[in-house]
């Protein structure tokens, strides 16, 4: 028989044991109720990346057995074509007729990317302007949008002395007749804004559809542009490969100024539709002529010796001169050559300069490398 004192001591010990058990089990139960123990998320409370991304799914039986996550496949965005990686001799493919010694030859390597098959058209750029006027007046201001992002339609008159450009000034950007013509009167800075808007538009949709975030749209580097323009042809003077600007029947292969005073010999006195003339072997239209195109690079006479030979780009935010490539409807054939580089100031708007976008291709390209 236990004495009353011993019974009281046992009751006290039981109470202490129950209290200790509760203190041990309570945090465990609380963690389980929050799901912390059942699923440890090393990435925190981030939004879904669009993949079936089970935390620690690459760990099995105490070993790391991680393989590629399922569900990701990068495809070409609408209006773009894949440009494969490769190595080529960058720079002049013929005589340096200006004796500039700027585009000396250098072998470089380019990784794969996607590129717009045509220059950005009036209709495409109009979507951007209208979106800015609908969504961004409160942040950017209508004056900024209309003076800095809206195409400068006066370029058709002010670019040329004593030139009657009223028809183009009044109708080129707004009339449906020119919807599929390349947009002009766009500064380098406005082209950058278009790329930012297009990237956000694309990735907002992908996020809402629970898809992986895509690389952004951007301007091509000078080296990327030149590699794409050659269409895989080593040493190509023009995008079509041969050293002549007309075919065997005498038909010109691009929109440019073939003769003094004769802008129409190629069929178009001003710009041509963005998909006019035959594409090069990568499926790109008008990489020579029509409108010259902005690139990402700042201009420097020392480009070849100072840039690296893998994905070179000269990005100097303090240099206002930006490289343009391809020549235009008002240029002679020299400026159509793939290796010719010239420049314009980043805030300048011209009736003969447009742009197209590129996007990085992530990883290798099976069957194309």
Read off the pLDDT of residues 65-78 as tens digits, 9 standing for 90 and up.
888 777 778 889 99
> What angle do the packed helices 188-208 and 122-135 form, to 10 degrees?
70
Residues 103 and 213 in one domain: yes
**DSSP helix/strand/coil, 116:** strand
In a domain? residue 102: yes
In a domain? residue 37: yes
- Scanning the structure block, which residue is given the tokens 């490969």? 241
In a domain? residue 31: yes
- Closest residue by Cα to residue 254 from 191, 365, 336, 319: 336
Residue 11 in this model has a pLDDT that exceeds 50: yes
Poorest-confidence range of 73-77, 117-121, 219-223? 73-77
In a domain? residue 74: no
In a domain? residue 92: yes
Residues 51 and 121 in one domain: no
Residue 317 in this model has a pLDDT that exceeds 60: yes
Sheet harboring 80-83: ordered strands across?
A: 80-83, 113-116, 358-360, 217-218
Of 37, 64, 91, the last residue of a domain is: 64
Of 36, 64, 92, the last residue of a domain is: 64
Is 121 in contact with 276 (CB distance < 8 Å)?
A: no
Residues 257 and 329 in one domain: yes
- Scanning the structure block, which residue is given the tokens 């990068």? 74
Residues 26 and 133 in one domain: no
Residues 232 and 335 in one domain: yes
Q: What is the CATH number of the domain that holds 204?
A: 3.90.1580.10
Residue 8 in this model has a pLDDT that exceeds 60: no
- Closest residue by Cα to residue 352 from 245, 257, 219: 257
Of 35, 64, 93, the last residue of a domain is: 64
Residues 248 and 350 in one domain: yes
Antiparallel, parallel or unpaired: β 341-345 and 353-354: unpaired
In a domain? residue 367: no
pLDDT in tens, 255-312: 999 999 899 999 999 999 999 999 999 999 999 999 999 999 999 998 888 999 999 9
- Burial of residue 65 (number of CB atoms within 10 Å: 0-12, 13-18, 19+): exposed
DSSP string, 274-313: TT-S---TTS---SSBSSEEEEEEEP-TTHHHHS-SBS--
pTM of the shown model: 0.82
Residues 329 and 235 in one domain: yes
Is 152 in contact with 190 (CB distance < 8 Å)?
A: no
Q: Within 10 A of 245 (CB to CB), how many other CB atoms are there?
A: 20
Residues 216 and 339 in one domain: yes
Residues 147 and 274 in one domain: yes
DSSP string, 323-354: EEES--TTS-GGGGSTT-EEEEETT---TTEE
**Which residue has better confidence, 164 or 34?**
164
In a domain? residue 366: no
Residues 308 and 346 in one domain: yes
Instruction: Provide the domain limits for residue 37.
Output: 4-64
Residues 10 and 122 in one domain: no
Number of domains in the chain: 2
Residues 53 and 85 in one domain: no
In a domain? residue 75: no
Whole-Å CA distances, 82 to 281, 309, 325, 360: 11, 21, 20, 10
């Amino acid at each position: 028989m236990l004495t009353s004192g011993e019974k009281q001591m046992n009751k006290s010990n039981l109470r202490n044991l129950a209290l200790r058990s509760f203190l041990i089990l309570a945090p465990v139960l609380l963690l389980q109720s929050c799901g912390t123990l059942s699923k440890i998320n090393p990435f925190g409370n981030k939004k879904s990346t669009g993949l079936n991304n089970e935390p620690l799914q690459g760990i099995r039986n105490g070993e790391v057995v991680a393989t590629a996550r399922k569900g990701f496949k990068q495809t070409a965005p609408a209006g773009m074509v894949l440009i494969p990686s490769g190595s080529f001799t960058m720079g002049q493919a013929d005589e340096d007729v200006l004796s500039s010694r700027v585009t000396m030859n250098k072998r470089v390597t380019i990784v794969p990317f996607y590129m717009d098959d045509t220059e950005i058209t009036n209709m495409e750029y109009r979507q951007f302007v209208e979106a800015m006027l609908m969504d961004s007046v409160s942040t950017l201001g209508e004056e900024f949008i209309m003076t800095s992002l809206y195409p400068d339609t006066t370029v058709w008159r002010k670019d040329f002395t004593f030139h009657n450009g009223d028809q183009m000034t009044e109708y080129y950007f707004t009339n449906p007749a020119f919807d599929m013509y390349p947009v002009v009167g766009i500064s380098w800075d406005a082209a950058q804004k278009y790329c930012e808007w297009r990237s956000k538009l694309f990735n907002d949709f992908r996020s809402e559809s629970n898809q992986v975030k895509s690389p952004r749209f951007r301007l091509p580097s000078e080296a990327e542009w030149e590699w794409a323009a050659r269409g895989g042809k080593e040493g190509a003077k023009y995008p079509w490969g041969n050293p002549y600007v007309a075919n065997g029947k005498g038909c010109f292969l691009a929109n440019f100024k073939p003769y003094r005073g004769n802008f129409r010999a190629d069929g178009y006195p001003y710009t041509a539709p963005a998909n006019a003339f035959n594409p090069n072997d990568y499926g790109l239209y008008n990489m020579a002529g029509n409108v010259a195109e902005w690139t990402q690079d700042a201009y420097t006479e020392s480009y070849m010796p100072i840039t690296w030979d893998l994905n070179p780009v000269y990005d100097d935010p303090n240099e206002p001169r930006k490289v343009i490539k391809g020549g235009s409807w008002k240029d002679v054939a020299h400026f159509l050559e793939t290796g010719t580089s010239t420049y314009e100031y980043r805030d300048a708007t011209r009736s003969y300069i447009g742009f197209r976008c590129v996007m990085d291709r992530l990883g290798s390209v099976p069957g194309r490398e």
